[in-house]
Every structure is written in structure tokens, then in C-alpha cells.
Structure 1
Amino acid sequence: MSLKSQDWQQEQARVDDVTKQIRAKIRSLEETTSETKSEMVDIRKNFWDDVTVNFEDSAEMAETFASLKQQAEILSERERTHRHSALQLRTLKKLKSSPYFGRIDFVENEEEALDQVYLGIASLRDHNDEGYLIYDWRAPIASLYYDYPPGPAVVETPIGSISGELKLKRQFVIRDGEIRSMFDTGVTIGDELLQEVLGKQSDASMKSIVGTIQKEQNRIIRDERSRLLLVQGAAGSGKTSAALQRVAYLLYRFRGTLNADQIVLFSPNPMFNSYVSTVLPELGEENMQQTTFQEYLMIRIGKSFKLENPYAQLEYALTAMDEPDYNVRMAGIQYKASTHFVALIDQYLVHLGSGGLVFRDIAFRDEIVVSAVEIHDYFYAIDRNIAIPNRLRLVAEWLLGQLRERQKAALKEEWVDEAVELLDKETYLKAYQIVRKSNRNIRDDSFDDFDRERELLGQYVVSEEFKPIRSRLRKLAFVDLRAAYLSMFRDPAFAASLLEGTASAELPAEWQEICAWTIDKLMNRVMPYEDATPFLYVVERIRGFQTNTLVRHVIIDEAQDYTAFQFAYMKRLFPFSRVTALGDLNQSINAHTASDGLTGFSALAALYPAEETETIVLRQSYRSTRPIVEFTSQLIPGGEGIQPFNRDGVKPTLTVAGNTAELHSRIVERIQKLNGEGNRTIAVICKTAAQSAQVYEALRNMLPIRLIERETSTFAPGIVVIPSYLAKGVEFDAVLVYDASDHAAAGYRLERERRLFYTVCTRAMHELHLFVSGSGQISPFIPGHSLTLSLKEV
């Protein structure tokens, strides 16, 4: 809707006035932060000068402690003030350039006064502190902007619903204090603003553009009711952005009771963590905890086993079809991901309550103190109604008692005298201090008596020798956990007997071979990725779950790639957390499509009551141009339901080269052209890591190119070669699909690779170019009429 010049002048005058007040607040805050910083430096520099130090008597020591405490509290208060002022200053500097993005005029029912509300990334009061110049986009009133066109509207507030009429919704693009674009609109977000935002080149990090939040995204952001929030969205529909803005909203809404450390984001890979790391700071909030599920597994079991990476598993699934154990392993991957395997292990854990746990001997200096058989008999003599972890703790107490008796006997053994003789001066003094501290009756002259000296030092030596054994007992290390997991696979018929009378499906046909393969790997301390979570689940159920009760919200991105087993484990790990899970079943690129069909969202949803679950579906794709979305939507069943945003662009192209040398030449030409047109992020996406490494070596002397590997932790602008699965969740200005043929190893032919191909193609924002070389035929997934063919028609 066009606006009068008078409207423009009035709005610019307001921007000028707001900007002037922001500058004044910046100057004031800069003075405050400078003064506070100087005070902090002075306090640190003169800290001990202002403290009375006297350790001669207890009264003087109390005065010293009080003096230290007072100085520390003053310093802590100054540091808090400085941090708060620095955060305000950073926010104000952002507001100075672009103070707000929207305006709404709202009249409550039966009221005459018009509320004129301007929305920005943070709230700002006027210089008299009497009213708001800008409202934070997370404030309840802001929902009117995101959810309603002009007309009747309702806003939910902490004190209830307020009905009225939305008289005006105006949108701005303000840069450097100047209105560049302004328009009134009857929809949530005008196409003009989205076109301006989406038409830009990609950056090294995801940007949070709160002015372009859509109605469905706003539902995601402001949901406070659901224990489980499932967000299913097409590629480029803004799932991740909405989830991060949800974090910012929650931190705003529950300020004082929720902090960033109580929110955890599980990302697909470390590079993705880097990619999204700027979103919350842009919104004036601290980043939540960010990790990957693999990092968690490494912390828990990486020291005991050589743990396989999920991308190594996927690489195997994509490239090892000719290996003899391939079908067996793939069957194992699928079964171990299923809810049926969860049920099998739960049955097995019930069985372990009455028999089957494997124990280790407790030994000291090659002498068995308590045998594994004795531990076994003691454990299974305890009331079986008591949970396994609690019974094991009773066993641990019993074993510690047995160890204390053995420790007393050790004091009289000859090796103790030898150990005492070998103590160096430093250890001697340390022993003396420890023994004296533990026994207040020892006089200063006690060590003048040789026999008494030997007795006290002997106590120290023996205690030190037994210390690691005591530690292992407290950690329940007398249970052989690897053997406990493997016992389920020792006899293939055993698992079948556990499932008798249950609702779980039959074991896979390859179960006997799966058992042998699993035993071989774990006996060699190799932990396949498909076994890592089930093994850890067994460990936790035996020893007692190490639950995290502090985390209040868990965000799971690319949730479609998690197994049913992983979801079951995470629910136990975070028993009191609300979960937001984001994903797209069409981008499921894992090797574990489960045999029971309960994958992705269905497996997770089955863990929570329906009344505590909310599902939001995002069908509109904003990332890519209309021609790219029209092409990619034909790659998958049901793709016609994806709605492209009306942003024009060039059609995807298919280049067929005669050989590899010509292919590389054409790729270099295309990249140079894209670079010249101002594209900042360009990706050559290969199917596998092995193919990526080969392509990188072929192109590195012709282009300033970077190879993205599993260990890559940062995302930067430029030209990259990247495996298909590491590109998930990231977007590029232009994507070149290195091999769009039907070649089994390098291209995309098998039906299970269809979603992988779709995922690769949907990484492109502005341009998508596919390549085929040599004798390879075009992938059967490509609808030919949707492409502009170049170089050679096939």
C-alpha cells in the first residue's frame, strides 16, 4: 500500500528523535561503563592493601575473613554492573542503526485511546522514563503484529485476553537511522520485506530477523503449554531460526527463573553450532548450551571404546555395499534403532534382576580379596524387589567393609616397611600432615619415636594403596558392564526367549550373524554407533541413571535422524525438561530406517501423552528461489505440498561433461562466474567424505577452496567442498552437486538415497547447478523438464 509523503516525513522525524535519544543513552552508558571498569581495576590492584591480614589468633582471622568477603562482594557487584551496562550498550548500538521494524495501532474494545506500538529487537523507554519508545518483539503486544491483519484481534497477556481492533500494521526497513522502505500491509509480513531479506547473499552465520517471523513460526516461538513441541517443516521453512528465537523468547518471558545454562541445543554437527552461534547474541541474549549427541557419547564411553562417528556409519552405508558383512550390519543398524530393540533390552534388564549379571574379582597386590562368585552370590541373595542400582550400592558397602578388614591386615605386611623406606622427603612431609590432620591426638614430637613413626607412615602408605580400589568400588566398577551387554548376544536363542509372550515383533532373520558381529566388535573395544546408545542405556539402568534435573528445555535439531532408542534414552536423561524437536522427514539421511516404522517424530511422540504434545507443520519454503523449490519439490513424494515463496531466480541447470577433466573445468568456470556475481558462500556438495577429499585435491590449485570434514568446527564464507551429510541445516548462495548421476557409489540411484539427494539440492538459496560426467546416466530422481540443460543434451 503506498504511503503519503507526509506519513514518510512524520515517521522519519520519529526515527530521528528516537535515534537522538539512543545516542544520548549510549553516551551516558559509555561514561558509566568506563567509570565502573576503572573502579574494578582499582579494586583488583589494591585488593590486598584494603584487607587486614592477621593469622595470629582466631579473632584476627575472623576479621581477615570479613575483610576479604567485603572486598570480594564489592568487586562482584561492580562486575555485575559492568556486564549489565555492557549488554545494554551493545543493544543500544544495534538500535541506533535500526531502532524498529514494525508499528501497530491497536484500540481496545470500549476504549477510545489508540495504542501506538513500535517493535524492535529490544525495549526502550523515553528519556523521562514515562513510556516506551520501542517494545521488545517478545512482549505480548507484539503477537498482534505477527498473528493478525488489520481488523478484530485478541492479544494474550499475563493478566488475560484483551480484545480490540488492529487499526494499522506498518513495516519498516531502517538502516543507519534512515527509513529505506516503509509500507502498510494487510498480511503478517509483506512480500517486500521478505524479498529484501531473502534476496541477500548468505553469511557465515545464521541471522535472526525478527521482523520476518510468520504466524506459524510465532506459534513455535511463544508456545508455553507443551511438554513436547514437534516442528515438522519443509527445507528452508525457518524451523531452526524459529527454535532459536523461541529460546530468546523463553529467556525474556521467564527472566529471573530461567537462564541460558538451563537450555540445551543438540545440533547435527560442530560446524552447525558455529553457524547458529550468533543468533542469540544478536537478540541480546547469552547462548544456550550447544552440543551434539556424539559429543555426549564421547564423554560417557569414549575412554573405554573406539567410538564410531554417526557420519562414519553413514559413509559405510553409502559406500560399502560390496563388503561381505554389509547386509548383516545394515540389518543390525535398523533393528538396534527400533522400539523393538528397546523392548528387548527392557526384558533383558528384568532378567538381570534374577540372574545373569557378570562381576569382577576384587584383588589387592595379585591376591583376590573377594571373588566374582562371592559377589554374585551376595548380590542375588539381596531382596529382588529392590532395584538393581540400589542392590549394587548395598554390595558396594559390603565390599568396602571387606576391604577395610584387608587394609588392617596389610599394615603388618613386609611390603609396607619397604614402601615406607622409599618415601622421599616431600612425600614424608605430606604423609605427616595428612596423618596428623586425621588424628588430632598426635603430638608434634610423635615422629621422634621410630616405632610410632613407622606405624603412622605405614597407615599412610596402605591407605594410598587401597585408595584406587575404594574409588572403583564406589563407582560400582566390580560389575562387568561390557559383559552385561554382550551376554544378550552370546546365545541367539536367548533373545527370542525374552520376547516370548510380548507384543514385540520377531527378531530379524540375520539375528545370529548380528550377534556374532556385535560380539567381535565390542570384544576388540570397538563401539559401533548403533550400539553406543543401547550400551549406555544398559549401563545406566544397571548403575542408576545419571539424570540432569537442572536443564529445563531441550532443543533437538534434525530430529528425524535420531533413533527411537536415542529418544528413549534422552527422555530418561532429561526427565523434567520440555522438548522442542525440529525436523523434516524428507531430509532423513540416516542408515537406520527402523524395522518397526517408528522413526523420527513418531518414535518421539510415542513417549509423551498426546495432551502434552503440540505439532506444528511449516509448509512454506523461504530459503530457495521459486524455480529451485519447484524443482526440489519434485524429488520427493508429497513434494507438491511444499509452498515456494514468490522469489524469482534462475532455473537449476544440469551440465553433462564428457570426462572428469572436463567436469572439473566446467565446475571451475561456474564457480568463477558465481564469484564474480557476488555470491559469498558457494558449496560443491559431494555424496561422501572420500569423494569430497578427491574433489578437493583436484580443485585446490585452481580455486581458493576449503574442505569441510567431520572435525570442522567453524563455518566461514567462501568456496567449500563438503560431504552431503555435513551440509544439513546449512544454506549456501549457490550449490554445485558434484555427481548427479545414477552411479552406485558416487551418485544417487537407490531409493533410500532419494532424501539425501533432496537434502543436497535444498541447500541452495539462489542458484543450483547439477553435474554428470563420463558414462554415468542422470539420476532417476531428476525430473528432466524442470532443468535447463547445458553443454550437452542427454
Structure 2
Amino acid sequence: MSEREPEWLVEQQRVDEVVEQVERRIEALELETSDAHSEMVDIRKNFWDDVTVNFEDSAEMAETFASLKQQAEILSERERTHRHAARQLRTLRKLRSSPYFGRIDFLENGETAADQVYLGIASLRDKADENYLIYDWRAPIASLYYDYPPGPAELQTPSGRIEGELRLKRQFVIREGEIVSLFDTGVTIGDKLLQEVLGRHSDAQMRSIVGTIQREQNRIIRNERSRLLLVQGAAGSGKTSAALQRVAYLLYRFRGTLSADQIVLFSPNPMFNSYVSTVLPELGEENMQQTTFQDYLAARLGHSFKLENPYAQLEYALRAELEPGYESRMSGIRYKATMGFVRLIDGYLGVLGGEGIVFRDVRFREEVLVAGEAIGAYFYGLDRTIAVPNRMRLTAEWLLGQLKERQKAALKEDWVDAAVDLLDKETYLKAYQTIRRQNRKFKDESFDDYDRERELLGQYVVMEAVKPVRARIKRLTFVDVRSTFLKLFLDSDMAARAASQAGIELPEHWEAICKDTIDRLLVKRMAYEDATPFLYVVERLRGFQTNTSVRHVLIDEAQDYTAFQFAYLQRLFPFSRITALGDLNQSIQAHADTGESTGFTALASLYAAEETETIVLKQSYRSTRPIVEFTSMLIPGGSEIEPFNRDGDKPTLTVAADADALEGMIGERLRQLASQGNRTIAVICKTASQSRAVYEALRDGVPLRLVESETSTFEPGVVVIPSYLAKGVEFDAVLVYDASGSPSGYGKETDRRLFYTVCTRAMHELHLFALGSAGPFLKGPVEAYFEQAQQAADMQTNS
């Protein structure tokens, strides 16, 4: 510190002054929140004492409701004030420990003195409320810190472009109010700060590192222009972190017009939701809506079908190669992921506009009210220039009219009298109140006339019998979507006409695909590859249930989505801006080798070029340089990935003669890694079944946890996890179980991306284990990038 001691002391003095102001505000806010909490408790406790309650006449009742409304509004306002103050208090407590992370000195052209700007996670004004002591990292001026080295710089503001010179860019590491590190840098973010941040052990949640945002990441965060923002980034390039910070920026930039519940994040699995759940609260913002695409499918289809999830589909693709029907199923998975299948379904829907929709009978008390054939005749008798969903609604209105006539006729039928005789006292009173409410002219009548009483109770009985039928008609359940969808696969002529209308050819294995699809749907099993196309047909026939309130949709691991899923999401969120993040080298789903179905290609085709922006992130920050150099050798084009210059050990390869030896070596390595202070360690297996077997073999010797597709929380410690569930998260150390070329390892070319994805989960250490011999991806030039460790004794010696 000696050379820079004067500067250091000046900066520390400023930190002390800022922390002092923060502490004063914390004291005031703690008192305010305490008072507000006490006031809320008093209001709740004495709520009814302060309300004038009188139900004797209408005027008094109106006064009662007004009094209730006033008390509720007072309580709501106090709760809102308390929440706001509590949120401010949480932010101030963070500022007390680390008030800011950066400083820039910017001299605007034409000015004589440079502005000093300090950047932190939130803004803070001085006690006179005149000047900013700290600027929020999301403020427009913060772009100078992220986008420019010292020298000429410009800033785009709502009032226009400002040009000038960045005289100084300084970075701090401040802990508990003390400056730990201070350095000036000539690049966007200094290596020293990144080294310090990235060298830490991993946590159970993703960290928010707003002080280390890079220029390309800043472009993602602050993009306001694009309808579709595509982010293609190497493993560990900070895609997800930038996306979450983008949400925080949007909530800051559009404060008052955009709320967290108008933003939706589609994540790869429930555990990932837990992993990223703390980022926005750390930045003082509420979490957006978080879900998975599978959860959405289950909500829509789970009550009608036994729905396969994407991990079950992937498990099948990875380990069922020798089962009968494997090739036809895989052909179907790949074809149904493509834009070709989207076009085929659109062609089929075009055909259905003229004929072919299957309608169910509408029944009332086990009798056919209107036969399905009659419904079809009415529907196709309507003007065919009217859109299909509108014709469905007109058909529903016609059916409701038929039901109304049947309702009138039912009043004179014997079953009604029988049902009236069976009414109990409670139902009788309910019927009486219902009839009075719905028939004002009978409001002052009493049931003192037997015939009148019988008539009114009969009306109630029939009305209750009709109610579920009316509800089903309004929901358009008279459309048999399953049979209509199946017809495409059952009727070769219909399929040919659909293909002709779409201007495409049916795929080579169409007959096998059809048989495979029919066999499942006839027993109400819904394969993952069929779920979205089926829902798409449902919505196109009945009318899309669009979500117009959501304004931003973020899709993580977008490379694993199919063309159909993107087409569906576009219709589901027609007014939303889309941010899609992914890495084509981590495409691991069963359809991943279908070029036409690759997420970005399919998604980009749905939006105009002028509405779309693509940002490519090439630098990888997660792993040490030796790990990135090794993983880059595993994939085509890996040389374009730029490793961040963080030292570490080369990955190791340990070959075992048999499964017992392999598990013994892994157990020993786990104990060694835990003793070295690693907080998150993963044994990554290829499949879920392999993970369960390894977990059972290791659990007695090492404290560990099995992660399955239903696991909803990400916790520190040692985990055994299938390859596909590890996507999107990171670990201090990764042990790859069986990197051999055997069926249980990674031997086929289709395993390449999966193997790459597994290895790129490691932050600090990567250890590969192989049963018998190393797999094909570990042969050739890549051998120079890892160390051979043949004996378990080597590990014991090293430890």
C-alpha cells in the first residue's frame, strides 16, 4: 500500500463518511419500520372496534361498507410503507458493508472539472439530498464504467449523446467498511478483481457480481430496442448472470411501468430456480415469475394424459438403444422438433378448416342431446371465411341454445319430481335463496303455495343438472382434440393432404413415426415430443389463451428447445420481448443433432431481422485456464473460446480396472477435495439410473446427496447428479464418473456435447474417471491437456 498510501487514505476516508451516513439512515429506518409494524399490529387487532357495523337498513349498510373500506385502505397503505422501508433497510445494510465497487472520473467536453462517480448496488444521496454519494450500477452513467477504458468516451442519455474523456477508472474491494483492494485499470474490468471474485469457492446460489460485468454482458443487460435478443455464449461466459442482471436493469429503468410479475423466466429445471433465486433480491428487486416449460405442459395436460418429462425422454435416448422400436421413436423425436413438423401441423390445420375435426356427442343425463355428427354438420355449415376458433364459439352458442330448450322441457319430467323429494333441509334453503336471488319478482314471496314451491324447486334441480353441461360447452370440450390430432397419424390421405397444403414432403420414416405415436396416444400416454404440438393444435382449434400482461420472457438453455416449442411460446406471449440464452455446444436433448431444430435458428425465423439482435460471448470465466483449454479441445470450433487467465491444475484422468476400484478411487478423491475446503463437489453420472447406483455405492463412505429431476433446491456439499441436471450450475470440483467409451460412458459421437457439458461444470478442479480405458474424446491432441493418474495411490500421495 506504500506507493498509493495517500490515495488509499483519501478513499478510505470517503468510505468512512459514506458508511457513517448509511448507518444514520439505518437507525432512522429501523425506528420507522418498528413504528410502522406496531401500527399495523394495532390496526389488525382493533380492526372491528374502529368499524361501524350496522346491517339494519341499506343506508346503514352502505356506511358499514364505507367504514370497512376505509380501515382496509389504511391497513394496506401501512403495509405498503412498511414493505418499502424494509426493502430500503436491506439495501442499506448491504451498502454499510460494501458501499461501492467502482469509481470513474468523467470530463464532459466543454467542462473544466471532471465528475467523480462512485458505483454501487443502489443509489445514495448526501444528507442534504442534493448530490449522489453513490450511483446505482444501472444508472445511464454507469455504462461508462462497463464500456470504456480511460480515454475518449460517450454516453447516451434520454436528452442526447454526451461526449468526453474518461480520466480515471478505479476498482475497489470493500469488506465491512474497509478497503481490501484498490486499483486503477485500463480495461473494462481489471483482472485483479475478477481473479479475486472467480477464485472463491462456489455457493449454493448464483452470486450477483455487478462489479465485474463485461462490455458484451452490459450490452445484454441494457438492451431496450430488440424484440428478440439472442445470446450465444460459451460455457461459463456469464449468460445467465447477465440475463438476471438484465431483469434488475429493466425493473430499474422502467420503474412504475414494469413490475416483477410481468417478467417470466423459463429455466431448465426446478433446482436451477433455487440456484438463481437470490440474485434479484441481492440487488434490491423482487424475483420475477420462474417456471419450467415442463411445469407449463404439466399444468395444461397432466390431468388428461400421463405426461413424459424431457429427462425421461433423454434417459430413453441415452440407454434404450437396444430396445425394440428405438429407431422409430428417435426418428419421431428428431422430426417433431423441426420447423418441417411445424409446417406439417399448420398444413393439417388448414385442411381441418374444411373437414376432419372430430366432435363428441353433447350429453344431458346420459342421453345424447346433440350428436357429434350434427355438431360437425353445423360447424362446417358456417361461413368458412370465419376463423376456426370463431366458428367454434358460434357452435358453442348454438349448443347452449339447444341446451336451453332441453332445460325447459325437463321441468315437466318425472325425474325432476323425484329429485325434489330427495332435497334435504340444507339444499332446500339453498334452493330457496338461489331462486329468490335469480327471480326478483318472487323476492317477497314465501313458499306457502305447494304448486309454486314445487315449480321453484324443480327449476333449481334442473338448473343444477344443466350447469356442468353448460360449463363443458363453454370450454369447447365437444371438440375431440385427441382424436383429431390422432387422425393425422391414422389417415395417410389426410397426412398427404396436410403435407401438400404445407408444400413439404413427409419424412422417410413417416409410417414408423405414425405407429409409435398412435400406440402411445391410444392409451393416453403423452410423449414429450408430442406435448407441444398437441397443445398447439388445441389452441389453434379453440383459440389461443394468450398472455398479454407479460412483457419480457427469458429462456435459459434455449438451445434445448424445439422449433415447435418456440412457435408455441411466440403465440402464447404475443406482445412480449424475448431474451433467449444458450450454447449450441451444450445441445444435449434427444433432438440435438437435427440441424433444423436448433433453438436459435428456429427462434430467429419467427421474428423480423430488424427486430432481432444476436450477441456472442466467447470468453469463459467459470473455469480455470487449464480446464477451459481442455474442454475447448472436446468440441468443433473450441479454439474460439477465450479462457480467462486464472491459474489452476490440469484435469486428471484415472483409469480403474473394475467398478469396485473405480468407486474406491472416487471416494478417496471426494474425501481429499472436502478436506481442502471445497464447498460444492459433484460426481456427475451420465444417466439417472447410473447416478442412483453410484449413490448407493458411495453413501456409506462419504456424506453425499442424490439429485433427481424432482430435486427443487441446490445445496452445498457433495452431490451425485445426472449429466443433464447439472446444466446451468457450477461446482468447485467435478468428478466425471466413467469417461470410457463403453455404453455407460461417452463413446458415441452423439455423446460429445453431453461430455463437454459435464466437464464445463467445474470451476477449480476437474477429475475424470474411466472404467477399463479412456473414451474416444480423450484420445489424440487432447491428451496434452490433462494429467494421467493411473493409481489410487497417486491420490493418496498427493493428498
TM-score of the superposed pair, with normalisation by structure 2: 0.98
- 1:662 is aligned to 661
The answer as to whether partners of 1:687 and 1:747 remain within 8 angstroms in 2 is yes
After the TM superposition, which residues 235-314 of structure 1 pair with which residues of structure 2 at under 5 Å, given as runs?
Answer: 235-314=235-314
Query: Structure 1's 595 and 121: CA in aligned 2 closer, same or farther, altered over 3 A?
Result: closer
Q: Which amino acid aligns with 1:778?
A: G
Q: Which amino acid aligns with 2:524?
A: R
Partners of 2:655 and 2:406 in 1: CA distance:
78
Partners of 1:347 and 1:516 in 2: CA distance:
21
Query: Structure 1's 405 and 164: CA in aligned 2 closer, same or farther, altered over 3 A?
Result: same
**Structure 1 residue runs of 4 or more that deviate by more than 6 Å after TM superposition:** none
- 2:507 is aligned to 508
Partners of 1:161 and 1:444 in 2: CA distance:
74
The alpha-carbon deviation at position 498 of structure 1 amounts to 2.4
The alpha-carbon deviation at position 2 of structure 1 amounts to 8.9
Partners of 2:500 and 2:346 in 1: CA distance:
13
Q: Which amino acid aligns with 2:190?
A: G
Partners of 2:690 and 2:353 in 1: CA distance:
49
1:88 paired to 2:88: yes
User: Aligned Cα RMSD in Å?
Assistant: 1.3
Select 2:765's aligned residue among 764, 767, 772: 767
SS at match of 1:554: strand
The answer as to whether partners of 2:150 and 2:167 remain within 8 angstroms in 1 is yes
Partners of 2:129 and 2:566 in 1: CA distance:
49
The alpha-carbon deviation at position 501 of structure 1 amounts to 6.6
CA displacement, residues 311-338 of structure 1 (integer Å, 9 cap, x when unaligned): 0000000000001100000000011111
Partners of 1:366 and 1:657 in 2: CA distance:
68
Q: Which amino acid aligns with 1:184?
A: D
The answer as to whether partners of 1:655 and 1:770 remain within 8 angstroms in 2 is yes
1:30 paired to 2:30: yes
SS at match of 2:694: helix
SS at match of 1:446: coil
- 2:726 is aligned to 727
- 2:472 is aligned to 472
SS at match of 2:742: coil
Select 1:748's aligned residue among 742, 746, 749: 746
Partners of 2:502 and 2:405 in 1: CA distance:
47
1:54 paired to 2:51: no
Question: Unaligned stretches of 5+ in structure 2?
Answer: 793-799
Partners of 1:39 and 1:643 in 2: CA distance:
57
Partners of 1:228 and 1:501 in 2: CA distance:
29
Select 2:775's aligned residue among 755, 763, 778: 778
Partners of 1:507 and 1:84 in 2: CA distance:
59
- 2:706 is aligned to 707
Partners of 1:91 and 1:144 in 2: CA distance:
24
After the TM superposition, which residues 154-553 of structure 1 pair with which residues of structure 2 at under 5 Å, given as runs?
Answer: 154-442=154-442, 446-500=446-500, 502-504=502-504, 506-553=505-552
Partners of 1:501 and 1:28 in 2: CA distance:
71
CA displacement, residues 618-666 of structure 1 (integer Å, 9 cap, x when unaligned): 0000000000000000000000000000000011000011211111111
Partners of 1:60 and 1:127 in 2: CA distance:
50
Q: Which amino acid aligns with 2:171?
A: Q
Partners of 1:518 and 1:630 in 2: CA distance:
44
The answer as to whether partners of 1:2 and 1:184 remain within 8 angstroms in 2 is no
The alpha-carbon deviation at position 67 of structure 1 amounts to 1.2
The answer as to whether partners of 2:544 and 2:572 remain within 8 angstroms in 1 is yes
CA displacement, residues 472-530 of structure 1 (integer Å, 9 cap, x when unaligned): 000111110101111111123432332237543x3222211111111110110000000
- 1:575 is aligned to 574
Partners of 2:345 and 2:502 in 1: CA distance:
12
Partners of 2:210 and 2:414 in 1: CA distance:
75
Q: Which amino acid aligns with 1:475?
A: R
The answer as to whether partners of 1:204 and 1:717 remain within 8 angstroms in 2 is yes
The answer as to whether partners of 2:591 and 2:597 remain within 8 angstroms in 1 is no
Query: Structure 1's 63 and 515: CA in aligned 2 closer, same or farther, altered over 3 A?
Result: same
Partners of 1:789 and 1:492 in 2: CA distance:
57
The answer as to whether partners of 2:347 and 2:500 remain within 8 angstroms in 1 is no
SS at match of 2:116: strand
Partners of 1:2 and 1:651 in 2: CA distance:
36
Q: Which amino acid aligns with 1:275?
A: Y
Partners of 2:22 and 2:757 in 1: CA distance:
44
The alpha-carbon deviation at position 454 of structure 1 amounts to 1.1
Q: Which amino acid aligns with 1:668?
A: G
Partners of 2:39 and 2:204 in 1: CA distance:
38
The alpha-carbon deviation at position 434 of structure 1 amounts to 0.2
The alpha-carbon deviation at position 598 of structure 1 amounts to 4.0
Aligned residues: 790
- 1:67 is aligned to 67
Query: Structure 1's 2 and 553: CA in aligned 2 closer, same or farther, altered over 3 A?
Result: farther
CA displacement, residues 560-601 of structure 1 (integer Å, 9 cap, x when unaligned): 000001001100000000000000000000111365624110
CA displacement, residues 426-445 of structure 1 (integer Å, 9 cap, x when unaligned): 11110110011111222555
Partners of 1:502 and 1:431 in 2: CA distance:
55
Partners of 2:388 and 2:469 in 1: CA distance:
22
- 2:635 is aligned to 636
- 2:795 is aligned to none
SS at match of 1:50: coil
Query: Structure 1's 594 and 420: CA in aligned 2 closer, same or farther, altered over 3 A?
Result: farther
Identity %: 72
Question: Unaligned stretches of 5+ in structure 1?
Answer: none
The answer as to whether partners of 1:534 and 1:565 remain within 8 angstroms in 2 is yes
The answer as to whether partners of 1:446 and 1:452 remain within 8 angstroms in 2 is no
The alpha-carbon deviation at position 556 of structure 1 amounts to 0.3
CA displacement, residues 77-126 of structure 1 (integer Å, 9 cap, x when unaligned): 11111011000000000000000000000110011122100000000011
TM-score of the superposed pair, with normalisation by structure 1: 0.98
Partners of 2:32 and 2:389 in 1: CA distance:
56
The alpha-carbon deviation at position 462 of structure 1 amounts to 0.7
Partners of 2:181 and 2:774 in 1: CA distance:
49
The answer as to whether partners of 1:236 and 1:622 remain within 8 angstroms in 2 is yes
SS at match of 2:580: strand
Query: Structure 1's 755 and 596: CA in aligned 2 closer, same or farther, altered over 3 A?
Result: closer
The answer as to whether partners of 1:204 and 1:715 remain within 8 angstroms in 2 is yes
Partners of 2:751 and 2:548 in 1: CA distance:
39
The answer as to whether partners of 1:747 and 1:779 remain within 8 angstroms in 2 is no
Q: Which amino acid aligns with 1:516?
A: K
The alpha-carbon deviation at position 194 of structure 1 amounts to 0.3
Partners of 1:573 and 1:148 in 2: CA distance:
39
The alpha-carbon deviation at position 58 of structure 1 amounts to 1.7
Partners of 1:497 and 1:86 in 2: CA distance:
63
The answer as to whether partners of 2:339 and 2:596 remain within 8 angstroms in 1 is no
Partners of 1:22 and 1:425 in 2: CA distance:
67
The answer as to whether partners of 1:126 and 1:133 remain within 8 angstroms in 2 is yes
- 1:737 is aligned to 736
Q: Which amino acid aligns with 2:730?
A: E
The answer as to whether partners of 2:634 and 2:777 remain within 8 angstroms in 1 is no
After the TM superposition, which residues 543-622 of structure 1 pair with which residues of structure 2 at under 5 Å, given as runs?
Answer: 543-593=542-592, 595=594, 597-622=596-621
CA displacement, residues 410-429 of structure 1 (integer Å, 9 cap, x when unaligned): 11111111111111111111
SS at match of 1:235: coil
Query: Structure 1's 596 and 777: CA in aligned 2 closer, same or farther, altered over 3 A?
Result: closer
The answer as to whether partners of 1:340 and 1:596 remain within 8 angstroms in 2 is no
